[in-house]
Amino acid sequence: MAPIETFFEERFRKHADGTIGLGAPLTQRARDMGISHDVISILHGCDTEALRAFSKDDSRKLLGLKAGLFYVGYTGRMREDAICLFAGLIRELRKKYSIDVVGVLIGNSAFQVDRFIGPEIADSFIKTGWIEYEDINQYMSACDVLVLPFENSVARRSIWPSKLNDYLSVGRPVLSTDLVVLSDIVRNAEVGVLAENTVESLAYRCAELLTDPNKMTILGNNARKLAETTLSWETICNTVDKFYNDVTLVACHTIEDQKEVQRKKGF
């Protein structure tokens, strides 16, 4: 499908009056194609009205989760790279760091995860399957850390992982492999920690978080603040709306100028 996808992805871009890139890598891709004017970059928005930052203790009681354990969560669809790293992370935390941790797969993973988890750590996982949206909120809120364990592939590096917005909305610290598309905002907004895309690196950084409750609280509060401000839908929509109006105004002037030239030439 590459030739067809490339055609529809690139053929018409230069004819647009304005271009919006979802994240720095895709915005740079547009510039590399020769699009140098009227280009902006935005990120996916956070739904802070639908997703709330519930108390960990309250959510755990509501869901009947055991007290005295650490919970590390991942939400939504998975691919092989994610489940391999996530299962390895839980295994490493329990074996090497002796942390009593439970991996929580929240929602429909749409992937056969059991064969990657293995029987030796099967009891250390909760797999919710299909659940109501409100329950997804509760499970994420019940977690100490929420994870984005992705390989460092071209697609993963450049495409914004929208589940990050859900993690931020519930106010939990984020542990992610160091992806170009999100590394700057994670560091600058101090909403989580980044690791190499290896089990060992992810486990080391996660252990650091789980053994530092104060840091987890600070990062979680920063995450919710980022969701309510810079990454709120209101902020992003206002940015797009202003850009659209500015580009449209320029385009309209250009059309009028062209018509005036045609009139002077007698067309």
Same domain assignment for residues 82 and 196: yes
- Write the pLDDT tens digit of every residue in 37-60: 899 999 999 999 999 999 999 999
| Confidence (pLDDT) at 257 | 63
Same domain assignment for residues 16 and 124: no
Q: What's the whole-number mean pLDDT along residues 119-145?
A: 96
Q: Is residue 167 part of a domain?
A: yes
For residue 265, pLDDT over 60 is answered with no
Same domain assignment for residues 38 and 60: no
Same domain assignment for residues 91 and 174: yes
Per-residue pLDDT band for 149 (boundaries 50, 70, 90) equals: very high
Number of helices and strands in the chain (H, E): 12, 8
Per-residue pLDDT band for 249 (boundaries 50, 70, 90) equals: confident
Same domain assignment for residues 146 and 117: yes
For residue 267, pLDDT over 60 is answered with no
Q: What's the whole-number mean pLDDT along residues 143-169?
A: 92
Same domain assignment for residues 20 and 120: no
Distance in angstroms (rounded) separating the CA atoms of residues 62 and 45 = 28
Same domain assignment for residues 27 and 92: no
Cα angle value 196/200/201 (rounded, 5°): 30
Per-residue pLDDT band for 1 (boundaries 50, 70, 90) equals: confident
Retrieve residue 234's tokens: 């209101």
DSSP lists the bridge partners of residue 195 as 177
Cα–Cα distance list, 242 to 22, 90, 246, 266 (Å): 16, 45, 6, 36
Q: What total of structural domains would you count in the chain?
A: 2
Cα–Cα distance list, 212 to 56, 95, 96, 112, 209 (Å): 16, 19, 18, 33, 5
Same domain assignment for residues 214 and 84: yes
Q: What's the whole-number mean pLDDT along residues 6-24?
A: 88
Domain interval for residue 29: 1-42
User: Would you tell me how many other CB atoms lie within 10 Å of the CB of residue 261?
Assistant: 10
Q: Is residue 178 part of a domain?
A: yes
Q: What's the whole-number mean pLDDT along residues 101-116?
A: 95
Q: Is residue 23 part of a domain?
A: yes
